[in-house]
Chain A
Amino acid sequence: MSQKPREGKRSQVEYLDARSGEGTAGALEELHKQLLLLPPYRWLCSAIAGSGISPRGLLISTPYIWLLLFFLAPFLIVLKISFSEYAISQPPYTALFELVDDIYVQIKLNLENYQLLFEDDLYWRAYLNSVKIAGISTILTLMVGYPLAYGMTRAPQRWRLALLMLVILPFWTSFLIRVYAWIGILKKEGLLNLLLINLGIIDQPLTIMNTDTAVYIGIIYSYLPFMVLPLYASLEKMDDTLLEAAADLGSRPIKTFWQITFRLSLPGVIAGCFLVFIPALGEFVIPDLLGGSGTLMIGKTLWAEFFSNRDWPLSSAVAVVLLLILVIPIVAFQKLQEKDKAA
Chain B
Amino acid sequence: MAGSGHEVRKKWDPWNDPQEKPHVQLLSVSKRFGDFTAVDNIALDIYKGEFFSLLGPSGCGKTTLLRMLAGFEQPSQGQILLEGSDMAGVPPYRRPVNMMFQSYALFPHMSVESNIAFGLKQDKAPKGEIAQRVEEVLDLVQLSSFAKRKPHQLSGGQRQRVALARALVKKPKMLLLDEPLGALDKKLREQTQFELMNIQEQLGITFVIVTHDQEEAMTVSTRIAVMDHGRIVQVATPTEIYEYPNSRYVAGFIGDVNIIEGRVSEVGESHLNIVSEQSGCGIRARHAVDAPVGATVWIALRPEKLVISVDAPADTTTNCMAGEVWDIGYLGNLSIYHIKLDSGIMVTTAQTNRTRDVERPITWEDRVYLTWTPDAGIVLGQ
Contacts and interface: CB of A to CB of B under 8 A. Distances in A.
Interface in B83-136: 91-93, 97-99, 101, 103, 105-109, 118-119, 122-123
A17 B105 contact: no
Given A15-B152, A250-B122, A244 B108 contact: no
Interface in A246-263: 246-253, 255, 259-260, 263
Nearest to B166: A249
B231 interface: no
B122 A255 contact: yes
Given A15-B154, A249-B166, A239 B122 contact: no
Contacts of B343: none
B108 A248 contact: no
A241 B101 CA distance: 8
Contacts of B106: 245
Given A15-B154, A17-B152, A249 B119 contact: yes
Interface in A153-188: none
A248 B122 contact: no
Contact of A244 (B97, B101, B122, B155): B101
A294 B174 CA distance: 66
Contacts of B12: none
Contacts of B105: 239, 241-242, 244-245
B154 A249 contact: no
Given A15-B154, A17-B152, A247 B91 contact: yes
A139 interface: no
Nearest to A267: B109
A263 B97 CA distance: 25
A86 B101 CA distance: 70
A248 B107 contact: no
Contact of B101 (A245, A252, A260, A264): A245
B170 A249 contact: yes
Contacts of A239: 105
A247 B92 contact: yes
Contacts of B70: 244, 248
A251 to B, nearest CB: 5
A52 B133 CA distance: 61
A341 to B, nearest CB: 10
A264 B109 contact: yes
A264 B119 contact: no
A241 B103 contact: yes
Given A15-B152, A15-B154, A244-B92, A250 B107 contact: no
Interface in A204-254: 239, 241-242, 244-253
Interface string A1-31: 0000000000000110100000000000000
B170 A250 contact: yes
A249 B153 contact: no
Contacts of B166: 245, 249
B151 to A, nearest CB: 10
Contacts of B153: 14-15, 17
B72 interface: yes
Contacts of A255: 122
A260 B107 CA distance: 8
A245 B123 CA distance: 15
Contacts of B109: 263-264
B98 to A, nearest CB: 6
Contacts of B118: 246, 249, 251, 259
Contacts of A251: 93, 118, 122
Nearest to A20: B152
Interface string B57-77: 000000000000011100000
A270 to B, nearest CB: 14
B162 to A, nearest CB: 12
B108 A250 contact: no
Interface string B293-306: 00000000000000
A253 B171 CA distance: 22
Contacts of B72: 244, 247-248
Contact of A248 (B99, B154, B155): B99
B152 A248 contact: no
A246 B108 CA distance: 12
A241 B97 CA distance: 16
Contact of B92 (A248, A259, A263, A264): A248
A249 B98 contact: yes
Contact of B107 (A14, A17, A245, A253): A245
A128 to B, nearest CB: 35
Contacts of A241: 101, 103, 105
B337 to A, nearest CB: 39
Contacts of A252: 93
A14 B146 CA distance: 12
Contacts of B170: 249-250
A229 B23 CA distance: 49
Given A244-B72, A264-B109, A250 B123 contact: yes
Most buried by B among A15, A247, A263, A264: A247
A246 B70 CA distance: 12
Contacts of B154: 15
Interface in B209-255: none
A255 B119 CA distance: 12
A253 B92 CA distance: 10
A67 to B, nearest CB: 30
A242 B105 CA distance: 5
Contact of A250 (B93, B101, B103, B152): B93
26 contacts: A15-B154, A15-B155, A17-B153, A239-B105, A242-B105, A242-B107, A242-B108, A245-B99, A245-B106, A245-B166, A246-B118, A247-B72, A247-B91, A248-B71, A248-B72, A248-B92, A248-B93, A248-B97, A248-B98, A249-B122, A249-B166, A250-B170, A251-B122, A253-B93, A264-B108, A264-B109
Nearest 5 Cβ contacts at the A-B interface:
A249-B119, A250-B122, A245-B105, A241-B105, A247-B92
Given A244-B92, A251-B93, 5 more contacts: A15-B154, A17-B152, A248-B99, A249-B118, A252-B93
